[in-house]
Amino acid sequence: MSHQSREIHLTERPVGTPTLDTFQLVETDVPEPGEGEILVKNHWMSVDPAMRGRMDDRPSYVAPFEVGAALEGGAVGEVVASNSDRHAVGDLVLHGLGWRDLAVLPGKRAAPVDASAVPEQAFLGILGMPGLTAYAGLVRPGAIKEGDVVFVSAAAGAVGSAVGQMARLMGASKVIGSAGGPEKVRHVVEDLGFDACIDYKAGGVRKQVKALAPDGIDLYFDNVGGEHLEVAIGLLRLHGRIVICGMISQYNATEPPAGPRNLVRLIATRGSMQGLLVLDHADLREEFVTRVGGWLQNGELKYQETVVDGLENSPQAFLDLLAGKNTGKMLVRIAG
């Protein structure tokens, strides 16, 4: 017996910014789960900036998406058939086969989800990959210390919004964000509790940050690259740290972008700049869930979601994410 499902397939390797023609909604048959497998009805799926890199066929830390095949990404859903002793029918699980209604996968590749204290989709956001990325980046390459002045780009996004709040909870003396547009700036300061936030769309990024941190910054958490990274290098204090999490400003570039022109300053400041992959920090998961779960329960940590309904609208949700139209975590609700 098989089940009818829908999937979003990649139709091409985009050059520059993807379009809706880069994606195709396909109906397909999904088999019953085999030995050790489960069949999951997806409720929620995530769209993430890193998915853009997997649309290109180039060496990376993870294999590229295949043209003509379903895309992949984080998803939360309900087990509707099980041939695995790890999960029973009715269990909620987190797994990596989003972009589809139904997914068959080994039970060992799905993690149980306890939605008794938080909504199930939070395991795709603040208690999922974005939250762990923020936490790991601060405690490992960021080596955050009490009293640090912290600067965060894409501060209204899923990772950036968590970074700023966690930094304050870990003892930062000042947290400065960067976001695009007055409403996002207001959200970052008034709702999330950052000390200040610049509007990069207003121009003069260096001037704005310098005015808020006249003595420089100790830690920069980079989600965008480009001008922001160069500004951060220029304002870095002695033994400052830069965490390179993402460079969304460059993901659709068709020509290699110019590198920061002031890297030499890392010599004088003895500064460090290190890339961050959340995959390297899975050992922090238990500590992260305990600590961040506590912050959520006592109201010290807040999060926001931008929700798009319908699997068929997931390509537009992804394009909107790349264009910065989301506030907080961008999610697609596939089924209730």
Crossing angle for the helix pair 129-139 and 285-297, nearest 10 degrees? 110
Question: Do 160 and 116 have their domain in common?
Answer: no
Going by pLDDT thresholds of 50, 70 and 90, the confidence category of residue 257 is confident
Q: What residues contact residue 182 under an 8 Å CB cut-off, 6+ apart?
A: 199
pLDDT cut 70: percent of the chain above it: 100
Q: How many domains does the chain have?
A: 2
Residue 296 placed within a domain: no
Cβ atoms within 10 A of the Cβ of 306, count? 17
CATH of the domain at 133: 3.40.50.720
CATH of the domain at 110: 3.90.180.10
This prediction has a pTM of 0.93
CA distance 285 to 299: 21
Question: Do 102 and 210 have their domain in common?
Answer: no
Instruction: State pLDDT tens for residues 24-74.
Output: 999 999 999 999 999 999 999 999 999 999 999 999 889 999 999 999 999
Residue 315 placed within a domain: yes
Question: Do 144 and 68 have their domain in common?
Answer: no
Residue 297 placed within a domain: no
Instruction: State pLDDT tens for residues 83-130.
Output: 999 999 999 999 999 999 999 999 999 999 999 989 999 999 999 999
CA distance 222 to 134: 11
Model pLDDT, residue 22:
98
Instruction: State pLDDT tens for residues 276-310.
Output: 999 999 999 999 999 999 999 999 999 999 999 99
Indicate the average pLDDT of the chain.
96
Average pLDDT over residues 308-329: 97
Going by pLDDT thresholds of 50, 70 and 90, the confidence category of residue 259 is confident
Identify whether the C-beta of residue 38 lies closer than 8 Å to the C-beta of residue 83. Answer: yes
Question: Do 78 and 110 have their domain in common?
Answer: yes
* Tally of CA atoms within 13 A in the half-sphere of 149 that contains its CB: 17
Q: Which structural domain, as residue segments, surrounds residue 324?
A: 2-122+303-333
Average pLDDT over residues 242-265: 88
